[in-house]
Amino acid sequence: MWLWLALLSAFLLGFYDITKKKALAKNGPIEVLFAVTAISTIFLSPCLFLYSGPWQHHLMLVGKAVLVSASWISGMYALKLLPITVVSPLKATRPFFVVLLSLFLFGERLNALQYVGVALALASIALTGLSGGRGQAGSGNRRGYLAIAVSIAAGVASALYDKHIMAQMEPLFVQSWTNLYITVVVGVYLLAVRGISGTSEGFRWDWMLLLTAVLITGADMAYFFALGSEGALLSVISIVRRAAVLVTFVFGALIFKEKNLRGRAFALILLLAGMVCLMLGTQ
């Protein structure tokens, strides 16, 4: 069951990436991030009253919110300072670290077919990174590379932390309160940046923000329930969620009319083969 939930999360994440790209046409990245997390928190607000929890758990969720916010915000700065052909391949290394550390820290064990699936998926990620980053190794600056390093490290730490906290807390408790804390962290950051820079750019409402919030709420809910399930493997879930790129690939070709997709097609075929092996190996 947990593997199907991970696949559902990946499917919703793919559409989330598409709607987020549309939403960025009217507002800046931080504004979109704040609006989407705030709307998601409103959706989940009944859970804030149903699940209170001890203060120690809330402190842990504040830590998770800081990790997630640091990963997202630093990733946006990296995208601003470096070419996307440098950022995307570097960010694609995150599943490698999650898989390796999951096996090492949590003692997860995969069967032969699952190992084949993970290997195919990681090979797909590596091919995507190599094809995207070719000829761009010297682009950007130190601040950009520092930002992407922070984004990757915080993202990996957040994924590993999820495995730890889901052993102690209910999925909806984690999701609802973490969303609230992320909204506060990002809101404070947004106010601080505007105060320092002296800018007061207006916010423009876009219905795409609502759809984006619906999708990320559903994707995160499926993810947390998957991770909280008995026998769930973070190493497998982190790879399965990469299947979101299959959705963005198809819609990138059909809706956004993106070019030069043939080079990525083989990598996505490998990823699809990896997903099939993981499905068969987890039956």
pLDDT (tens, 9 = 90+) of the chain, 283 residues, equals 888 999 999 999 888 888 887 888 888 888 889 999 999 999 999 999 888 889 999 999 999 999 999 998 898 888 777 765 566 667 767 877 888 888 888 888 888 888 888 888 888 777 765 555 444 444 447 888 888 899 999 999 999 999 889 988 999 999 999 999 999 999 999 888 877 766 666 778 888 999 999 999 999 999 999 998 888 888 888 888 877 777 777 766 665 555 555 656 777 788 788 878 877 777 6
pLDDT at site 197 = 67
How many CB atoms are located within 10 Å of the residue 95 CB?
22
Q: Would you kindly state where each structural domain of the chain is located, as residue ranges?
A: 2-281
pLDDT of residue 136: 47
CA 232 – CA 103 distance, rounded (Å): 13
Give the model's pLDDT for residue 193: 82
Q: CA separation (Å) from 244 to 194, 210, 215, 254? A: 33, 20, 12, 16
For 19, half-sphere exposure in the C-beta direction (CA atoms, 13 angstrom radius) is 19
Cα separation, 20 vs 141, in Å, equals 27
Write the CB contacts of 5 (distance below 8 Å, at least 6 apart in sequence). Answer: 222, 223, 225, 226, 229
- pLDDT tens per residue, range 127-136: 765 555 444 4
For the chain, strand residue ranges (E) read none
Q: Give CA–CA dist 217/48, Å, rounded.
A: 15
What pLDDT score was predicted for residue 137? 45
89-107 pLDDT, tens digit each: 677 678 778 888 888 888 8
Enter the pTM of the model: 0.83
Task: Give tens-digit pLDDT for 246-283.
Answer: 777 776 666 555 555 565 677 778 878 887 887 777 76
How far is it, in rounded angstroms, from Cα 175 to Cα 238? 17
